[in-house]
């Protein structure tokens, strides 16, 4: 085992280091090393502290310099602010002066406005009075015009409704006629055939001529030799119609018949067998042949009378015979009947107009009542703000 050796610094002799010799040296060496290390650490610490102090001093100095710079800048800003404040004070003083002048002008303008308001109020009051009078006159005119318009509209509506009702009534009648036409036509044709058959069997020497459909002249003609002609018409309906007689008289005149007979299952009230009504013989169907016998006898006697006087009659007698005969009577009836129809139409029209006048009078009263109610409602809501309309004042209406 090689022991560690040390060289003597004086004689350069190597001395082996034994445990007894090296122990104290090692201790001392350790102590010296520790002392040196502590000295080095202390020196390093001092160096670090010095550097830190230097850095802190430099930073503090920089900070102080920065603070001084900021303080200078702040002082400059304060100086500028003082300058701005002085300028602002100057401007504020000028603004106060301008405001005072503006207030003075505003007061002057207010005084002028008050004067103008008074002038305008006076002008408005005068114009309002004129406008109120004008509006009152216009309202009265409008009320009158509206009343006329309402009356005209009501009259037009009423006329339209009347026309509609009349049109509907006519349509209903036409439909009813179309519905009844088939059965009535068949019944009428059956009655006509029965009548012709009865007359042909009862009077084989007479000529029975049926009147074609669509031709004027009732149903058939009975020519009694050379003594005269009887016009026959057969009806088989559920109701009596007074318009059959004027039509049959016209047919009698158109064909030149001496007598006209209407046979019907329905006759005027109180007529059970046969009778002469307005120049037309009306008979029940079962009395048609007996009546034809009577009429044929009358025509024969009239023909005999005319034959006796033929060639002997003077103009006066001929005129008398004409005036008292059936031909003149038929002519006169043909002239009078249109006048009677016109008179009946005038009476009917007069009644209708009276009914319309009464209806319009009621409508006018309702319109006036509605207008008075509306006027009263407006006066009740607005009070004196609404101008009075003399035409709608109750006292004036009662006085009228």
DSSP string computed for 329-398? HHHHHHHHHHHHHHHHHHHHHHHHHHHHHHHHHHHHHHHHHHHHHHHHHHHHHHGGGSPP-GGG-HHHHH
Q: Does 225 map to a domain?
A: yes
Residue 366 maps to a domain: no
Q: What is the pLDDT of residue 217?
A: 56
Looking at the chain, the whole-number percentage of residues with pLDDT higher than 90 is 0
Q: Would you say residue 65 lies in a domain?
A: no
281-324: pLDDT as tens digits: 898 888 888 888 888 888 888 777 776 655 555 656 665 665 56
> Does the predicted model carry a pTM greater than 0.85?
no
Token pair recorded at residue 317: 């007698």
Range of the structural domain that residue 296 is part of: 163-342
Q: Tell me what pLDDT residue 285 has.
A: 87
Residue 399 has pLDDT above 50, yes or no: no
pLDDT at position 224 over 80: yes
Does the residue 273 lie in any domain?
Answer: yes
Q: What is the pLDDT of residue 400?
A: 45
- Would residue 351 count as lying in a domain? no
Strand partners for 231: 221, 260
Q: What is the Cα–Cα distance from 307 to 122, expressed in whole angstroms?
A: 111
Please give the pLDDT value at position 131: 63
Between CA 360 and CA 306 the distance in angstroms is 63
- Mean pLDDT of the 219-229 span: 85
CA dihedral sign, ordered 180, 181, 186, 188: positive
Residue from 12, 16, 13, 22 nearest 1 by CA: 16
The mean pLDDT of 206-228, rounded to a whole number, is: 77
Residue 175 pLDDT: 63
Q: Give the model confidence (pLDDT) of 327-352 as tens digits.
A: 656 655 655 566 567 777 778 888 88
- Phi, psi (5° rounding) for residue 312? -110, -15
CA distance 152 to 154: 5
Residue 319 lies in a domain: yes
pLDDT at position 195 over 70: yes
**pLDDT at residue 264 above 60?**
yes
| pLDDT band (50, 70, 90) for residue 90 | confident
Q: What angle do CA 28, 29, 32 make, to 5 degrees?
A: 85
Instruction: Give residue-wise pLDDT tens across range 145-166.
Output: 766 766 676 667 777 777 777 7
Is residue 218 one of the residues assigned to a domain? yes
Q: Which of 129-138, 249-258, 388-397 has the lowest average pLDDT?
A: 388-397
Q: Measuring CA to CA, which residue among 306, 312, 297 is closest to residue 324?
A: 306
Q: Does residue 269 lie within any of the structural domains?
A: yes
Rounded to an integer, the average pLDDT of 237-261 is 84
d(CA 162, CA 156): 10
Count how many domains the chain has: 1
């Amino acid at each position: 085992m090689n022991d560690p050796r040390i060289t003597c610094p004086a004689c350069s002799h190597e001395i082996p280091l034994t445990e007894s010799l090296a122990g104290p040296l090692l201790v001392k060496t350790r102590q010296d090393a520790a002392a040196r290390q502590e000295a080095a650490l202390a020196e390093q610490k001092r160096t670090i502290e010095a550097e830190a102090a230097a850095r802190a001093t430099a930073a503090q100095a920089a900070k102080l310099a920065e603070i001084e710079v900021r303080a200078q800048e702040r002082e400059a800003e304060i100086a500028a602010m003082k300058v701005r404040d002085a300028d602002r004070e100057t401007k504020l003083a000028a603004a106060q002066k301008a405001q005072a002048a503006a207030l003075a002008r505003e007061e002057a303008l207010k005084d002028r406005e008050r004067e103008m308001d008074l002038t305008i109020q006076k002008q408005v009051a005068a114009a309002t009075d004129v406008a109120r009078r004008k509006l009152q006159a216009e309202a009265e005119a409008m009320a009158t015009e509206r009343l006329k318009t309402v009356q005209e509209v009501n009259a037009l509506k009423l006329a339209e409704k009347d026309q509609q009702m009349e049109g509907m009534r006519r349509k209903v009648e036409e439909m009813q006629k179309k519905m009844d036409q088939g059965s009535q036509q068949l019944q009428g044709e059956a009655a006509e055939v029965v009548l012709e058959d009865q007359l042909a069997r009862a009077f084989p020497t007479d000529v029975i001529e049926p009147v074609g459909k669509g031709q004027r002249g009732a149903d058939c003609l009975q020519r009694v030799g050379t003594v005269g002609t009887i016009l026959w018409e057969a009806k088989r309906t559920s109701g009596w119609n007074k318009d059959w007689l004027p039509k049959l008289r016209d047919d009698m005149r158109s064909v030149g018949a001496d007598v006209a007979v209407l046979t019907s299952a329905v006759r005027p009230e109180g007529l059970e067998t046969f009778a002469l009504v307005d120049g037309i013989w009306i008979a029940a169907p079962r009395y048609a042949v007996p009546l034809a016998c009577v009429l044929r006898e009358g025509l024969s006697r009239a023909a005999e009378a005319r034959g006796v006087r033929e060639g002997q009659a003077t103009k006066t007698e001929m005129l008398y015979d004409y005036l008292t005969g059936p031909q003149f009577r038929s002519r006169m009836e043909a002239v009078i009947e249109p006048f009677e129809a016109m008179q009946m139409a005038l009476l009917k029209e007069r009644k209708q107009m009276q009914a319309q006048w009464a209806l319009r009078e009621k409508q006018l009263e309702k319109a006036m009542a509605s207008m008075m109610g509306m006027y009263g409602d407006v006066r009740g809501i607005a009070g004196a703000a609404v101008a009075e309309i003399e035409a709608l004042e109750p006292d004036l209406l009662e006085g009228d």
